Amino acid sequence: MRQDPNRLIFEIEARDGDARRGILQTPHGPVETPAFIPLATKGSVRGMSSREIEGMGYEMVLGNTYHLLVAPGPERIAEAGGLHGFMAWDKAIITDSGGFQVFSLAHGGVAEEIKGSNRNMHGQGKTLGIEEEGVRFRSYKDGSELMLSPEESMQVQALLGSDIALVFDECTPFHADRDYTARSTERTHRWLQRCLDWHGEHGPDKQAVFGIIQGGTHADLRKESCEAVSAAGVDGISIGGTLGRDKEEMAEVLGFTVPNLPVGAAKHLLGIGEVDDLMRGIALGLDVFDCAVPTRLARHGMALAPRPDKRFRIDIRKPREVGNREPLVPGCPCSACADYDRDYLNYISKSEELTAVRLMVDHNLTYMERLMRGAREAISAGEFTEYSDRILAGAPPWDAR
Ligand SMILES: [Zn+2]
């Protein structure tokens, strides 16, 4: 691990068991951890302005190399002053490498953000080949042939100017066998070195680089990956790839992965962010989480709620909400809960009004921000287990401490 104060410093401020509270100091300001990172996949958080996201208390968003490469293209973003200037966001940005998206195309994967983003995707956005060099694919926008390789991904992320770049990796799918996963993980480690070599020579001085742990659901492969990535001189570590078929297996995979990582490293869990997953991830000592769930649910009229019996969500479009004068989630400070009742939210959500998506995103991201804020405070007070137990038993974040 390296700690170059020009790019990133991670300081652990408080510990409670393996859970810890810390601060990621980035060139665009501090990010208090544990943190949930909203997705700004295509350079915007669904339905919301950057100012609104900042107003909710968020300090970092995640942009996506694959989507921003396809459109509008990294050169256009660089001309606008990088992704920060382009989307008028002055706080920290982490960029995904694009590996997850191109390999989801290749493996017929379950990348819901891809499925949801463009109906033409499966017709045009095809992977043409996976080679040692990288991955060739067709743009879903205009059918042109594009290449993502370790160097290309790092170059795009350099043009985007994110505070934290992720190395280009192969996201091995759940259905891959052990042999494929082993060979793929080794290639991911070779790609890691190519990413770091390119970044060392050409990358922005202030951009930090996180390595990515692969290895599927295999304990020995995960351990090897932890050792390879930890030894490579990265600024932080992301955990990627399949974590199994269900939450039980995810807990098992994380349980045999995280202890193999340096305690002091900033640790990011890629693509996981349901309420119960966050509580378990924080308890294991993970610091940063990103996930499409809060914004994607909003589009379908689903609101995060203290309902462990309903996977911590309620469907505002259900007929039972007609005539319901109660707020979405009592006590929630968001505008959807403060100003409207469920009857109205049911009506505008079923009517597919833009306002409905905005209000539901506002609610879901406010809920997540409060959940993580509560976790940070609980860790400082040495009460994280109690906080997590109350959340998992159905307390809202603002009443769980
Ligand atoms: Zn709310």
**Per-residue pLDDT at 174:** 82
Q: Can you give the residue range of the structural domain that contains 165?
A: 14-291
In a domain, residue 256? The reply is yes
- pLDDT tens, 246-299? 999 999 999 999 999 999 999 999 999 999 999 999 999 999 999 999 999 999
- Tell me: do 200 and 305 sit in the same domain: no
**Chain-centroid distance, C-alpha 19:** 19
pLDDT band at 391 (very low <50, low <70, confident <90, very high): very high
Give, for 85, the enclosing helix (H) or strand (E).
helix 82-86
**Per-residue pLDDT at 301:** 97
Nearest 5°: the CA angle 259, 5, 225 is: 30
In a domain, residue 87? The reply is yes
CA distance 77 to 79: 5
CA 332–ligand 1 middle distance (angstroms): 4
In a domain, residue 325? The reply is yes
CA 335–ligand 1 middle distance (angstroms): 6
Average pLDDT over the chain reads 93
- Tell me: do 62 and 164 sit in the same domain: yes
- Tell me: do 153 and 39 sit in the same domain: yes
- Tell me: do 141 and 287 sit in the same domain: yes
In a domain, residue 395? The reply is no
- Tell me: do 268 and 352 sit in the same domain: no
CA 301–ligand 1 middle distance (angstroms): 13
| Mean pLDDT on 121-125 | 46
- Tell me: do 63 and 126 sit in the same domain: yes
CA 360–ligand 1 middle distance (angstroms): 8
Task: Please identify, among 291, 323, 339, the residue that sits at the C-terminal boundary of a domain.
Answer: 291
| Mean pLDDT on 311-326 | 98
Q: To the nearest whole percent, how much of the chain has pLDDT over 70?
A: 95
- Tell me: do 251 and 276 sit in the same domain: yes
In a domain, residue 331? The reply is yes
- pLDDT tens, 157-172? 999 999 999 999 988 8
Contact 53, 368 (CB under 8 A): no
pLDDT band at 3 (very low <50, low <70, confident <90, very high): low
Q: Which residues touch 33 (CB under 8 Å, ≥6 apart)?
A: 20, 21, 22, 23, 24, 266, 287, 288, 376
CA 399–ligand 1 middle distance (angstroms): 14
In a domain, residue 9? The reply is no
CA 61–ligand 1 middle distance (angstroms): 20
CA 275–ligand 1 middle distance (angstroms): 15
Higher pLDDT among residues 114 and 207, named by residue: 207
Give the residue numbers annotated as catalytic, written as ranges.
96, 290
Query: 14 phi and psi, to 5 degrees?
Result: -150, 150
CA 94–ligand 1 middle distance (angstroms): 26
**Per-residue tokens: 236:** 């932080």
CA 321–ligand 1 middle distance (angstroms): 16
CA 333–ligand 1 middle distance (angstroms): 6
Asked if the bond preceding 34 is cis, omega within 30° of 0, the reply is yes
Which CATH number goes with the domain that contains 263? 3.20.20.105
CA distance to 94, 156, 195, per residue, from 149 (Å)? 19, 10, 9
Total number of domains constituting the chain? 2
- pLDDT tens, 328-344? 999 999 999 999 999 99
**Per-residue pLDDT at 104:** 80
In a domain, residue 130? The reply is yes
**Per-residue pLDDT at 6:** 79
What pTM, to 2 d.p., does this model score?
Answer: 0.94
Task: Please identify, among 291, 312, 347, the residue that sits at the C-terminal boundary of a domain.
Answer: 291
- Tell me: do 274 and 313 sit in the same domain: no
Beta-carbon neighbours within 5 Å of ion ligand 1? 332, 334, 336-337, 363
- For the cut 60, the answer to whether the pLDDT of residue 113 exceeds it is no
- pLDDT tens, 74-112? 999 999 999 999 999 999 999 999 988 888 877 765 444
CA distance 148 to 158: 14
Lowest mean pLDDT among 25-34, 59-68, 136-145: 136-145
- For the cut 90, the answer to whether the pLDDT of residue 125 exceeds it is no
- Tell me: do 321 and 272 sit in the same domain: no
- For the cut 90, the answer to whether the pLDDT of residue 142 exceeds it is no
- Tell me: do 276 and 316 sit in the same domain: no
CA distance 223 to 294: 31
- Tell me: do 312 and 216 sit in the same domain: no
Task: Please identify, among 291, 317, 352, the residue that sits at the C-terminal boundary of a domain.
Answer: 291
In a domain, residue 394? The reply is no
CA 366–ligand 1 middle distance (angstroms): 7
**Per-residue pLDDT at 105:** 76
- Tell me: do 196 and 55 sit in the same domain: yes
